[in-house]
Amino acid sequence: MTRLLLADDHRSFVEVLAVLLGAEPDLQVVAVSRPDEALRVGRSGSIDVAVLAVDGAGGDYLSTGEALLAARPDIRLVAVAQGCDVATLARVLRTGFRAWVPKAEGVDALLDAVAAVLRGETHVPPLLLTELLAHLFREEAEVRTAETRLAALSTRERQVLEAMAHGWSGAEIAEELAISPNTVRTHTQNILAKLDLHTSLAAVALARRAGIAGP
């Protein structure tokens, strides 16, 4: 018996899907409609596969999936989505999801994905694979370009930029690095000049493309 968690902001959708999947003799289904409920049920240890809707308006199930994996590395995650956004698909796979199923593909496609992840496989619709690979290659090229540009910064300038990317204020950066606010402003001006950028937001965006995490 496979214990399956379904989570989607749209309660009617998740309840109907639970009824359809519950008809399978080897599935035991729990349906929830809030990320906190999904996290509580998933952490309990009674779930084998969590099917999370990653495009809902009310909750962040990507973060829920990440938290579930931190608490339960053995749990398998399947993402369901209304559309086929390749950037979201790439983020989903990086988070640790093993499968992606467009909602339009129906119950049979979801069952195939669940079976695949239980076998230890990754399941992505074939038509999306080409777009996904192209997206990943573009991202890799952007990261290399950003890293090359950031190499022009001094160690201290990079520390200031990393703090900016984490959302710190000038005063917080000054306190953390034990420098004056005026020195922070000077470093920021030097960063913009070396990177040939006009705003701190543009510098932060470049830093994040290079893999420096945000808040």
Asked, for residue 37, whether it belongs to a domain, the answer is yes
Asked, for residue 134, whether it belongs to a domain, the answer is no
Assign 28 to helix, strand or coil.
Answer: strand
The strand pairing partners of 5, in sequence order, are 30, 50
pLDDT(209) > 90 = no
Q: For residue 59, what pLDDT is reported?
A: 53
Q: Are residues 117 and 147 in the same domain?
A: no
Q: What is the CATH number of the domain that holds 98?
A: 3.40.50.2300
Q: Are residues 151 and 104 in the same domain?
A: no
Q: Are residues 89 and 43 in the same domain?
A: yes
> Stretch 67-93: mean pLDDT, rounded?
88
Q: What is the CATH number of the domain that holds 190?
A: 1.10.10.10
pLDDT(92) > 70 = yes
CA 70/CA 75 separation, integer angstroms: 10
pLDDT(55) > 80 = no
Assign 11 to helix, strand or coil.
Answer: helix
Q: Are residues 118 and 42 in the same domain?
A: yes
Q: For residue 58, what pLDDT is reported?
A: 46
Q: For residue 38, what pLDDT is reported?
A: 92
Asked, for residue 92, whether it belongs to a domain, the answer is yes
Q: Are residues 69 and 158 in the same domain?
A: no
Asked, for residue 78, whether it belongs to a domain, the answer is yes
Number of domains in the chain: 2
Q: For residue 177, what pLDDT is reported?
A: 93
CB 61 within 8 A of CB 12: no
Amino acid at 182: N
Alpha-helical segments (H) within the chain: 11-22, 35-43, 61-71, 86-95, 106-118, 126-150, 155-165, 170-177, 181-195, 200-209
Asked, for residue 166, whether it belongs to a domain, the answer is yes
Asked, for residue 15, whether it belongs to a domain, the answer is yes
Cα 47–Cα 118–Cα 10 angle in degrees, nearest 5: 55
Least confident of 22-31, 51-60, 110-119, 150-159: 51-60
pLDDT(47) > 90 = yes
Assign 78 to helix, strand or coil.
Answer: strand
Asked, for residue 197, whether it belongs to a domain, the answer is yes
pLDDT(89) > 60 = yes
Split at pLDDT 50, 70, 90, the class of 74 is: very high
Q: For residue 174, what pLDDT is reported?
A: 94
Domain span including residue 102: 2-124
Q: For the chain, what is the radius of gyration of the CA atoms?
A: 21
Strand 27-32 and strand 76-81: the pairing is unpaired
Q: Are residues 115 and 10 in the same domain?
A: yes
Least confident of 132-146, 148-162, 163-177: 132-146
Strand (E) or helix (H) holding 49: strand 49-53
- Calculate the alpha carbon distances from 211 to 132, 145, 180, 201 in Å: 19, 12, 27, 15
Q: For residue 56, what pLDDT is reported?
A: 56
Q: For residue 142, what pLDDT is reported?
A: 75
Last residue of a domain, which of 98, 124, 150? 124
pLDDT digit string (tens) for 159-175?
Answer: 999 999 989 999 999 99
pTM reported for the whole predicted model: 0.68
Asked, for residue 178, whether it belongs to a domain, the answer is yes
